[in-house]
Structure 1
Amino acid sequence: MESSNDFRSILPFLPLILRSSAVFWPPSVLEALKSLSKGPIHSNVNSGQLFALAIDDLRNSLGFSSLNLSASLGFSLFFDDLMNKDDAVKWFTEVVPKLADLLLRLPVLLETHYQNAGAFNETDTGLRLFESQQSGIVFLSQELIAALLVCALFCLFPTTNRGAKHLPPINFDNLFLCLYEYYDVSQENKIKCILHYFEKISSDMHVGNVSFERKVLPLKNNPSCIVYPEADFWSNSTLSLCMFEVCTSGLIEDHLTEALEVDFANKYLGGGALSRGCVQEEIRFMINPELIIGMLFLPSMADNEAIEIIGAERFSNYTGYAKSFRFCGDYAEKKSCDTMGRRKTRIIAIDALCNPGKRQYKLEFLLRETNKALCGFLDTNKSRQNKMPINEIGNDIAIGVVTGNWGCGAFGGDPQVKAVIQWLAASQGLRPFVLYYTFNLEALQKLEEVVQWIILHEWTVGELWNILVEYSNQRLKGKTKVGFFSWLLPYLYNDDPMNFD
């Protein structure tokens, strides 16, 4: 394999060694994986306790420390106590050997990957580490993703320097540590989702692709890209607002037609998916586990960055949220594939301000949130190729935005303001529609009426932005304490009949 600089950037974060332009498992790891691949009769790995010991042996062969004791006990707790006995037998006799075999093929899968990098277009699409402010895209086969996720399950990724590169943890040891130290049923069910994925791919390896794109709005003048907009840009925008549909029931991930589905992200992709987190982003990463591999090579997002992932397949059904989260069996993916072999599932990770309090009404933070959403909602490939100014991009974009209470809930944002911000960003990005799931949030009960009133009056992006800034100014100065909707249309909250005149 000819090793490019891009490959060398990710090599320190992979558990492989490079010799003569090719990657290999160290000999002792290779032998241990061969033993595992032959099943428990040969490897003696037939319980959670012995599985953890086998993982320790692999880690020690790579020069890593042993698993944290609580993580080892978490493996034992799950596989020996919580897992159905018949399912545990199947896991160790059928699934683990196939996962070990997949790891044995990782070097070849990587070699094939780099040989094919750039096959979809003239851009290098090889697996690499993205530095902050570095835009680009990586195409990974579902098989390579599966092998890399087995590395995470077996806790084989090096951890040195991940923090220095602003990369989140990627090994699964913390999932099992949290299960043991902070047991709750939701954590057990998160692991059930992950294991269901491994069971499914071990019996039926899917052959599609997934792309991971780091999108950046440059902070300085760049002739070929959009520059991070200032407040005057938003104030002067004459673009029309796009269609906005309100849904009081349903879930973003259940939307079946192709659209940009918003991940209410942490600035570290995945948030608490591999620890104790179990809200919107973490749940999405459990039911679409291929998303997790983005955590391997995508550092934390700056204010002018977003991450778009296309093609991640859904494997699990679920019910509940947070502590009520439960795995509910297999999900049969319904979405078709595009010409690049990616499922038509587009997920855009944008991180909102965390616990912003009153500062969210300051102009600089309104601008930050609106530009963050714009970065996510823009089709940067079209803008780069066509070198269009921002107000002309996307005339042929037919893919809308499916979203909800981004930056609210645990993040503490104002849901009425956040809904308007997303509408502004989608409209400025010339997305044809926003489909907004309110999750029955009381603060958004009047969202439909407010949207209808604004659309009836044919406001532009600039006009709505200016009104939002005026409201936020009054809120910041204590001149009003009511929500944006009540401030804009007080009659809606006085039991008066709706009057658009």
Structure 2
Amino acid sequence: MENREDLNSILPYLPLVIRSSSLYWPPRVVEALKAMSEGPSHSRVDSGEVLWQAISDMRRSLSFSTLQPSASHGYAFLFDELIDEKESKRWFDEIIPALARLLLQFPSLLEMHFQNADNIVSGIKTGLRLLDSQQPGIVFLSQELIGALLTCSFFCLFPDDNRGAKHLPVINFDHLFASLYESYSQSQESKIRCIMHYFERFCSCVPIGTVSFERKILPAEYHNSSTAAPDADFWSKSDVSLCAFKVHSFGLIEDQPDNALEVDFANKYLGGGSLSRGCVQEEIRFMINPELIAGMLFLPRMDDNEAIEIVGAERFSCYTGYASSFRFAGEYIDKKAMDPFKRRRTRIVAIDALCAPKMRHFKDICLLREINKALCGFLNCSKSWQHQNIFIDEGDKEIQLARNDRDSGLLRTETTALHGTPLNDVEINREKPANNLIRAFYVEGVHCEDNEDDGVATGNWGCGVFGGDPELKATIQWLAASQTRRPFISYYTFGVEALQNLDQVTKWIISHKWTVGDLWNMMLEYSAQRLYKQTSLGFFSWLLPSLATTNKAVQPP
């Protein structure tokens, strides 16, 4: 165990110690957890106040720093005042002991995880580790192990002094509970109730599925180029057809009926304000699918050419409202089917937009940043290879990848013989894509379900509190989805007035068979006019008057 690179990379961020090739809790923590596992008659943990004392004692035995001062009041406020006496008693009689028993199993669960990590996909590292910036990779975690990790968060048992240096988001729940006390709101209480419901469900029936967390990076190796993403010329010359565009004035991304990639309007720090006061799109998703929180443990902030894709997170809660009106609305039974890896067929991609761009939004460099961010998020490796001939011969393990003239330009390979070597050992020509795309193709395209129907379900990404332009953001996402050969984009407008003509505009553009390059060039022309104050119209209003008068005025350049 001591020689595992993956374990050594994550161990400084875990509360366990390693000795003689085994993982352990320190003795005093074991003593405290055993007492709690036997109920309040042994542990005396029968209130929020005493629970916090037990948490603080365990942290002291681990030599960890003190937490948010108001967190103690938050735990006491929730369990001793907010919830009724019957519910509180159930938590201290049943849920807390069950969670303590789960934590006692945590070392063995983690050891089992590392024992199995090398066997999930041949030649692909899948073990829990720090997936650092510019290091593409994927981690597979069982739902049971995720439950143990989130229980560590609930008991605030993760070390936090060293997280800032690695640009990792907060992972303990002390900020969440401190915020409940410092500035109480029903929305904050509802966030915690979603998490409580998750633990109640988990303790009643331990889930048996798997969740994967992948750091995706755009190909960094281009012929005669050191850029980490496509440039403006790439987009201007793209002759890829625009995909279908479905407009939904009502409904929610997470309720989309299609087999689509669901967009998380993310903060560059995964989860954003989920574990503090935040309560908008990303934070709500992390509350109703709490297993997403596990990624906050080991995924540092995203760079401009990165995205994070999470597959298999189960949804546990219903809700109503948004932001201050958000309310927990009871149990949700997730009926999504599972793939061969036992992941639910829920694919969520986190992409972070520019914050408060204002007029910068119309600059070429900002438009490029946003479209390449969406491109990275929407990139589906099995789809990107669809215009290549793929032949797998089980006899000699030869994979032939013949370039097709209709290649998107993002991915290029030559014929390669594996002869029994793991796929990540294949020598890749320096003109070809980064290895993570090859690996992801191997994982998704060969071993997983056919993703031909995976469109993109999204909405006003980077708008709202981030202040982006809804019309430009809708267009940018359409371009990125089309370039990655997604068959459709389902766009949820949430009733934004600026998008009332979205359906009309997209239908007109599709009817005139514009390509990605055509629409990109039109957007650049419009943005230049906005930047130099030659027009004050929105993008769609800028297009529509021309559409009403003559096609010539809006023909692609």
TM-score category, normalised to shorter length = over 0.9
Secondary structure in structure 2 of the residue aligned to 1:128: coil
Q: In the superposition, relative to structure 1, how do residues 493 and 90 fare at CA in structure 2: closer, same or farther (>3 Å)? A: farther
**In the alignment, what sits opposite 1:125?**
126
Cα deviation, residue 398, structure 1? 2.6
- The answer to whether the Cα contact below 8 Å between 1:218 and 1:226 also exists between their aligned partners in 2 is no
1:465 matched to 2:520? The reply is yes
Secondary structure in structure 2 of the residue aligned to 1:284: helix
**In the alignment, what sits opposite 2:454?**
399
TM-score, normalised to structure 2, is 0.86
Cα deviation, residue 186, structure 1? 0.5
Secondary structure in structure 2 of the residue aligned to 1:489: helix
After superposition, the C-alpha distances for 1:300-352 in whole angstroms (9 at most, x for unaligned) are 00000000000000000000000000000000002111110000000000000
Cα deviation, residue 259, structure 1? 1.2
After superposition, the C-alpha distances for 1:223-270 in whole angstroms (9 at most, x for unaligned) are 9x9951010000000000000000000000111432100000000000
Q: Which amino acid aligns with 1:200?
A: R
Cα deviation, residue 381, structure 1? 6.5
Q: In the superposition, relative to structure 1, how do residues 89 and 3 fare at CA in structure 2: closer, same or farther (>3 Å)? A: farther
- The answer to whether the Cα contact below 8 Å between 1:397 and 1:430 also exists between their aligned partners in 2 is no
Cα deviation, residue 222, structure 1? 7.9
**Identity of matched residues, %:** 62
Cα deviation, residue 160, structure 1? 1.9
**In the alignment, what sits opposite 1:497?**
none
Q: In the superposition, relative to structure 1, how do residues 387 and 35 fare at CA in structure 2: closer, same or farther (>3 Å)? A: farther
Supply the distance in 2 between the matched residues of 1:3 and 1:206 (Cα, whole angstroms). Answer: 31
- The answer to whether the Cα contact below 8 Å between 1:193 and 1:287 also exists between their aligned partners in 2 is yes
Supply the distance in 2 between the matched residues of 1:396 and 1:98 (Cα, whole angstroms). Answer: 39
Supply the distance in 2 between the matched residues of 1:411 and 1:233 (Cα, whole angstroms). Answer: 27
After superposition, the C-alpha distances for 1:287-311 in whole angstroms (9 at most, x for unaligned) are 0000001000000000000000000
Cα deviation, residue 3, structure 1? 4.1
Q: In the superposition, relative to structure 1, how do residues 262 and 226 fare at CA in structure 2: closer, same or farther (>3 Å)? A: farther
Cα deviation, residue 436, structure 1? 0.3
**In the alignment, what sits opposite 2:428?**
none
Supply the distance in 1 between the matched residues of 2:384 and 2:230 (Cα, whole angstroms). Answer: 15
1:170 matched to 2:175? The reply is no
**In the alignment, what sits opposite 1:433?**
488
Supply the distance in 2 between the matched residues of 1:102 and 1:218 (Cα, whole angstroms). Answer: 41
Aligned residue runs from structure 1 range 302-381, under 5 A: 302-380=303-381
Aligned residue runs from structure 1 range 171-320, under 5 A: 171-221=172-222, 228-320=229-321
Q: Which amino acid aligns with 2:20?
A: S
Match of 2:509 among 445, 450, 454: 454
Q: In the superposition, relative to structure 1, how do residues 238 and 108 fare at CA in structure 2: closer, same or farther (>3 Å)? A: same
Supply the distance in 2 between the matched residues of 1:30 and 1:217 (Cα, whole angstroms). Answer: 44
Q: Which amino acid aligns with 1:257?
A: D
Cα deviation, residue 65, structure 1? 3.2
- The answer to whether the Cα contact below 8 Å between 1:142 and 1:209 also exists between their aligned partners in 2 is yes
Cα deviation, residue 387, structure 1? 9.1
After superposition, the C-alpha distances for 1:94-140 in whole angstroms (9 at most, x for unaligned) are 00000000000011111110111132212010000012100000000
Supply the distance in 2 between the matched residues of 1:227 and 1:478 (Cα, whole angstroms). Answer: 32
Supply the distance in 2 between the matched residues of 1:376 and 1:111 (Cα, whole angstroms). Answer: 32
Secondary structure in structure 2 of the residue aligned to 1:81: helix
Q: Runs (4+) of structure 1 moved beyond 6 Å?
A: 392-396, 491-494
Secondary structure in structure 1 of the residue aligned to 2:70: helix
Q: Which amino acid aligns with 1:475?
A: R
Structure 2, gaps ≥5 residues long: 386-398, 412-444
Cα deviation, residue 161, structure 1? 1.5
**In the alignment, what sits opposite 2:541?**
486
Q: In the superposition, relative to structure 1, how do residues 324 and 212 fare at CA in structure 2: closer, same or farther (>3 Å)? A: same
Supply the distance in 2 between the matched residues of 1:259 and 1:427 (Cα, whole angstroms). Answer: 14
Supply the distance in 1 between the matched residues of 2:24 and 2:227 (Cα, whole angstroms). Answer: 42
Supply the distance in 1 between the matched residues of 2:21 and 2:244 (Cα, whole angstroms). Answer: 53
- The answer to whether the Cα contact below 8 Å between 2:194 and 2:328 also exists between their aligned partners in 1 is yes
Cα deviation, residue 382, structure 1? 6.6
- The answer to whether the Cα contact below 8 Å between 1:307 and 1:349 also exists between their aligned partners in 2 is yes
Q: In the superposition, relative to structure 1, how do residues 2 and 417 fare at CA in structure 2: closer, same or farther (>3 Å)? A: same
Structure 1, gaps ≥5 residues long: 495-499
Supply the distance in 2 between the matched residues of 1:3 and 1:315 (Cα, whole angstroms). Answer: 37
Cα deviation, residue 20, structure 1? 1.5
Deviates more, 1:116-125 or 1:277-286: 116-125
Q: In the superposition, relative to structure 1, how do residues 226 and 4 fare at CA in structure 2: closer, same or farther (>3 Å)? A: farther
- The answer to whether the Cα contact below 8 Å between 2:229 and 2:372 also exists between their aligned partners in 1 is yes
- The answer to whether the Cα contact below 8 Å between 2:383 and 2:452 also exists between their aligned partners in 1 is no
Supply the distance in 1 between the matched residues of 2:150 and 2:548 (Cα, whole angstroms). Answer: 51
TM-score, normalised to structure 1, is 0.95
Supply the distance in 1 between the matched residues of 2:307 and 2:136 (Cα, whole angstroms). Answer: 10
- The answer to whether the Cα contact below 8 Å between 1:256 and 1:334 also exists between their aligned partners in 2 is no
> Please, what is the CA RMSD of the aligned residues?
2.2
- The answer to whether the Cα contact below 8 Å between 1:125 and 1:139 also exists between their aligned partners in 2 is yes
Q: In the superposition, relative to structure 1, how do residues 222 and 256 fare at CA in structure 2: closer, same or farther (>3 Å)? A: farther
Deviates more, 1:116-125 or 1:198-207: 116-125
Supply the distance in 2 between the matched residues of 1:458 and 1:187 (Cα, whole angstroms). Answer: 47
Supply the distance in 2 between the matched residues of 1:182 and 1:188 (Cα, whole angstroms). Answer: 11
Supply the distance in 2 between the matched residues of 1:270 and 1:477 (Cα, whole angstroms). Answer: 36
Supply the distance in 2 between the matched residues of 1:65 and 1:124 (Cα, whole angstroms). Answer: 33
Supply the distance in 1 between the matched residues of 2:454 and 2:384 (Cα, whole angstroms). Answer: 15
1:417 matched to 2:472? The reply is yes
Cα deviation, residue 390, structure 1? 3.8
Q: Which amino acid aligns with 2:47?
A: S
Secondary structure in structure 2 of the residue aligned to 1:327: strand
Q: In the superposition, relative to structure 1, how do residues 229 and 339 fare at CA in structure 2: closer, same or farther (>3 Å)? A: same
Cα deviation, residue 476, structure 1? 0.4
Supply the distance in 1 between the matched residues of 2:451 and 2:44 (Cα, whole angstroms). Answer: 58
Cα deviation, residue 379, structure 1? 1.7
Cα deviation, residue 491, structure 1? 6.8
Supply the distance in 1 between the matched residues of 2:22 and 2:156 (Cα, whole angstroms). Answer: 23
Secondary structure in structure 2 of the residue aligned to 1:360: helix
Supply the distance in 1 between the matched residues of 2:364 and 2:53 (Cα, whole angstroms). Answer: 55
Q: In the superposition, relative to structure 1, how do residues 387 and 315 fare at CA in structure 2: closer, same or farther (>3 Å)? A: farther
Secondary structure in structure 1 of the residue aligned to 2:166: coil
After superposition, the C-alpha distances for 1:461-500 in whole angstroms (9 at most, x for unaligned) are 0000000000001000100000000001127899xxxxx9
- The answer to whether the Cα contact below 8 Å between 1:212 and 1:310 also exists between their aligned partners in 2 is yes
Q: Which amino acid aligns with 1:413?
A: G
Q: Which amino acid aligns with 2:245?
A: F
- The answer to whether the Cα contact below 8 Å between 1:37 and 1:101 also exists between their aligned partners in 2 is yes
Supply the distance in 2 between the matched residues of 1:269 and 1:103 (Cα, whole angstroms). Answer: 25
Q: In the superposition, relative to structure 1, how do residues 387 and 344 fare at CA in structure 2: closer, same or farther (>3 Å)? A: farther
Supply the distance in 1 between the matched residues of 2:494 and 2:383 (Cα, whole angstroms). Answer: 33
Supply the distance in 2 between the matched residues of 1:392 and 1:65 (Cα, whole angstroms). Answer: 47
